[in-house]
Amino acid sequence: MSASIEVNRAEGAKPGLLSKERIVANSHFNRWLVPPAALAIHLCIGMAYGFSVFWLPLSKAIGIKEAVKCGPEVGFFQELFVTHCDWKIATLGWMYTLFFVFLGCAAAVWGGWLEREGPRKAGVVSAVCWCGGMLLSALGVYLHQFWLMVLGSGVIGGIGLGLGYISPVSTLIKWFPDRRGMATGMAIMGFGGGAMIGSPLAADLMKRFATADQVGVWQTFVVMALGYFVFMIGGAMSYRIPPSGWTPWGWPRSRKSPQSAMITTRHVHVRNVWGIPQFWLVWMVLCMNVSAGIGVIGMASPMLQEVFGGSLIGISTRYADLDKSQLTMIAGIAAGFAALLSLFNIVGRFFWASLSDKLGRKNTYVVFFVLGGILYASIPSSAAAGNQLLFVAALCLILSMYGGGFATVPAYLADLFGTQMVGAIHGRLLTAWATAGVLGPVVVNYMREYQLSLGMPREAVYNQTMYILVGMLAIGLICNLMVRPVAEKWFMTPEELATEKRLAHEKMFQAGDVAPLVDDDGVRPRPSNPLLVAAAWLVVGIPLGWGVYKTLVSAARFFQ
């Protein structure tokens, strides 16, 4: 099939609607139209972070008011097919694990395909998988067949997550060689913000569709899948790529930045990265940063409640001695705290990635590990002193650097390995995320349960865990300090690069490798209508603003 495609292209056949050749930008295209396209996809697939909003209603899908519990003879595999009893929340939680396992696997396996076929085709496939998976999950809820949910959202949707997550990375880096961190930060901020929009939207829809004999989940899945599909297809069809060799007007500057020694102008092939030491060092950098952060995310709400107990509502009572009404009150405060952390996670993605354009990627991760280590080490002291302000401030900064680590790493890879196959290399690197998704929660949860089994008070069970996380950050710091420019032998030769560009169907810019895109008369091109740019940003900005508003309302409960 691939041979026939090449023959058709060679014979001058018109490229298909989704082909890479169809999305090469003309001289009037405004590069600021690309980030909204990326955000349109990331804001939808980012709902993976918010799927837990469905767990409680789904755990009562049959009983409605109270869960119909399965008998002791019904194990996990039986739950995949039972129709007479409700699913346990622990069983539903496997969906969350599957999301990120298949995200990492899909990004690693199909990253090279994405580079050759382009972001539009990858974005469309992502939309079909993510939204089609939700529709299949809706059928699973309707028929009460959990295996359909696993296949739909877990497997098929997880593949859509992986392709959608990496689809804009290479494109944005090529459009913004002068602001790589900021560009990827904008898109990956959207992935963090997806749950901020999707969770309250799902809650409102479930309330609307709920009846005396329905919890409203399958209807919510259908509505959200259809809405997401329109949004994601719009984003995918809006993608444009620059001609090979394009650079912004007036760039590069003659003055070199302090970190320019770490930025290569050559390119590494994705097939070689498994053997390059720098890849594994950056893999460890991401894994350690994410492991520490994701471990805290999962336990932030119970940690706040158990550490401060009744002091959250102005009484000097330990958590274990609170009555049911008091526990309900502090749970509401903790929910506001979780919302506050989500805001810092999202803002940190844009802030730290943008700052990395000034500091350099290596220096930015030094800040993450040194400052993060100090903050983790301070948590036991602030908890013992009952200082809620320092405790909360430390965790908010930690979460900002957790998000910042995700947003900064694509630019780090582009600096080290070049831009030709950075999307595929980023896909391989995301296996570090899958590893961290297991390592971080296991460390935090195991240590908590172990210390509780020893009879340690709940307010003190996290102290040792914080010091273990400091040790993980120290490992990440050492790996980051060991990163050096990639050896010459790993870069593609000019002939290999030309072959890869041909396989990727790239349209070369004929005026030179560093010349800006110009009109035929050689003058600076007029960008596309600024109203079009403003409209594109409004399309993604309005739902994002609504999500921020809903999150701020929830976070306000923490300060009341």
In CATH, 262-490 is 1.20.1250.20: yes
Lowest mean pLDDT among 223-237, 251-265, 536-550: 251-265
How far is 447 from 70, CA to CA, in rounded Å? 30
- Identical fold between 29-66+80-250+529-554 and 262-490: yes
Mean pLDDT value of segment 216-227: 96
Q: CA of 503: how far to CAs of 117, 348, 408, 418, 498, in Å?
A: 9, 37, 28, 17, 9
Segments making up each domain of the chain, as ranges: 29-66+80-250+529-554, 262-490
How far is 438 from 287, CA to CA, in rounded Å? 10
Model confidence at 19, pLDDT cuts 50, 70, 90, reads confident
Selected residue with higher pLDDT from 80 and 7 = 80
Scored b (16 or more CB within 10 A) or e, 369-398 reads beebbebbebbbebbeeeebebbbebbbbb
What's the confidence (pLDDT) of residue 367?
Answer: 97
Total residue length of the chain: 560
3-state DSSP call for residue 491? strand
Amino acid identity of 503? L
Residue 508 φ then ψ, to 5°: -75, 145
**pLDDT tens for each residue of 332-391:** 787 788 888 888 999 999 999 999 999 999 999 999 999 999 999 999 899 888 888 899
Query: What stretch of H or E contains 123?
Result: helix 119-143
Which CATH class, in words, describes the domain spanning 29-66+80-250+529-554? mainly alpha
Mean pLDDT value of segment 392-404: 93
pTM of the predicted structure, to 2 decimals: 0.86
Widest distance between CA atoms in the chain = 80
CB 427 within 8 A of CB 166: yes
How far is 505 from 519, CA to CA, in rounded Å? 23
Residue 223 φ then ψ, to 5°: -65, -45
Mean pLDDT for the chain overall? 85
What's the confidence (pLDDT) of residue 10?
Answer: 44
**pLDDT tens for each residue of 485-536:** 999 999 999 998 888 888 776 655 443 333 344 433 444 555 667 888 999 9
Query: E-assigned strands of 69-196?
Result: none
How far is 257 from 348, CA to CA, in rounded Å? 23
Lowest mean pLDDT among 8-22, 55-69, 76-90, 457-471: 8-22
